[in-house]
Amino acid sequence: MPNMSDSYQDSKPLKVAVLVSGSGSNLQVLIDAMKAGSLPIEIVGVISNVKEAYAVTRAEQADIPVTVLSHITEGENAGKRMGIKTFERHATAQLNSWQPDLIVLAGFMRVLSADFIDGAPAPMINLHPSLLPKYKGLDTHERVLASDDTHHGCSVHVVTAELDAGQVLTQALLAIDKQNSPEQLQKRVQKLEHKILPWTILLITKGVLDIEAINAQQQSSEYLPALPLQLWLDN
């Protein structure tokens, strides 16, 4: 795998693969930034585990290769769930053929195994709708509204075998309005996501965030005082 900062210095775009399950608004932000030339990336492919996900349409409209590895099978085995191992085997083969420098989970909703993460051809980052380490898992907006927390937001972190537990790279924060419904709060957080995800990838392309070095340090459990980088983006 090429060194990411070399890739930037050579002014070659960083090759990015994106895994999705849903509407793909974050994927769209990356597509738009790539097309506008504001982010030096090439989205080499998109993998969706949901056939009907609007993210699939967004990738097709942008002429980006898209592979659907639906978790619901059709034909003879209709309705049977594709096991995670089968998904991972196909996804690994696809990623190996694209040879990305970075894999981005942007609203990807399946839990991946340690073997898949360790064997992936590039480091992997995930966008999560909470200020990690708070509110790992699902229903983050409901849970934060039921708490006494005064602020909320989203995080981009390195993917490791433990769910939502890898090194947090960046966070964007907002003040909680207790009058908000979970849906209203989710919309506000998504506006932050649309800024923090491209910003984080920009920092990776510039070598400011070196995920491989971060991973190596994490394995020797050294303290990383400079992370996460936080942006207060109230809206």
Which residues are CB-neighbours of 210 under 8 A, at least 6 positions away? 4, 5, 204
Least separation in angstroms between residue 127's CB and ligand GAR is 5
For 156, half-sphere exposure in the C-beta direction (CA atoms, 13 angstrom radius) is 30
Separation CA 60–CA 62 (nearest Å): 5
Nearer to ligand GAR, 22 or 207 (CB): 22
Intra-chain end-to-end CA distance of the chain, in Å: 39
For residue 175, the SS3 value is: strand
Answer yes or no whether residue 24 interacts with ligand GAR by CB under 6 A.
Answer: yes
Q: What Cα–Cα distance (Å) separates residue 132 from each residue in 44, 136, 165, 234?
A: 29, 7, 8, 18
Contacts of ligand GAR in 35-94 (CB under 6 A): 55
- Closest residue to ligand GAR using C-beta atoms: 107
Residue 25 lies near ligand GAR (rule: CB under 6 A): yes
- Please count the other Cβ atoms lying within 10 Å of the Cβ belonging to residue 143: 16
Which segment (37-45, 79-87, 121-129, 171-179) binds ligand GAR by CB under 6 A?
Answer: 121-129
Binding of ligand GAR by 26 (CB under 6 A): yes
The structure tokens listed for 25 are 């608004």
152 is an active site residue: no
Closer CB to ligand GAR, 23 or 94, in the complex: 23
190 binds ligand GAR (CB under 6 A): yes
Question: Among residues 71, 128, 157, 194, which one is catalytic?
Answer: 128
The whole-angstrom separation of Cα 219 and Cα 212 is 11
Q: How far is the CB of 117 from ligand GAR (least distance, A)?
A: 15
Nearer CB in complex with ligand GAR: 7/66: 66
Which residues are catalytic, by number? Answer: 128
Q: Which residues of this protein are in contact with ligand GAR, per CB under 6 A?
A: 20, 22-26, 55, 106-107, 127-129, 154, 190, 193
